[in-house]
Amino acid sequence: MKEHIYYVYMVQSISRRALYIGMTSKLDRRIFQHKTHRFRGFTDDYNATRLVYIERYSEVSAAITREKQLKRWRREKKEWLIAQKNPHWKDLASEWFPHLCEETKGPSTP
């Protein structure tokens, strides 16, 4: 039986104003969709394309619960959480799609 991994993630806009929290079982595909503006909506409107935070779960229910919990948090607490694992706020997917990432670098991206 194949083991599934579920991801709770945060993407940030290039301007650093917007944070989006999502959950998926196919993180690379979902981040590609954000980076290429595949779907209309919040991440497209705010150009939230920089992956700044990831958590992994083996149970979908745990991932959904965590996603909902993070969405209820105040922005300051979300920023603190990101800084614990990614203190320089680097785009964690910058090497996944090198041809796309030049356009998704923001002020905090080296």
Q: Return the pLDDT at 108.
A: 47
CATH number at residue 11: 3.40.1440.10
Q: Note whether residue 10 is domain-resident.
A: yes
Q: Can you give the residue range of the structural domain that contains 18?
A: 6-104
Q: Note whether residue 110 is domain-resident.
A: no
Supply the pTM of this predicted model: 0.85
DSSP states of 3-68 as a string? PP-EEEEEEEETTS--EEEEEES-HHHHHHHHHTT-S-SHHHHTTEEEEEEEEEESSHHHHHHHHH
Split into its structural domains, the chain has a count of 1
Q: Return the pLDDT at 1.
A: 67
Q: Note whether residue 89 is domain-resident.
A: yes
Asked if residue 65 lies in contact with residue 37, where contact means CB atoms within 8 angstroms, the answer is no
Q: Note whether residue 56 is domain-resident.
A: yes
Q: Note whether residue 23 is domain-resident.
A: yes
Q: Note whether residue 109 is domain-resident.
A: no
Q: What is the pLDDT along the chain (110 residues), one digit of tens a residue?
A: 678 999 999 999 988 889 999 999 999 999 999 999 998 899 888 899 999 999 999 999 999 999 999 999 999 999 999 999 999 999 999 888 777 655 445 444 44
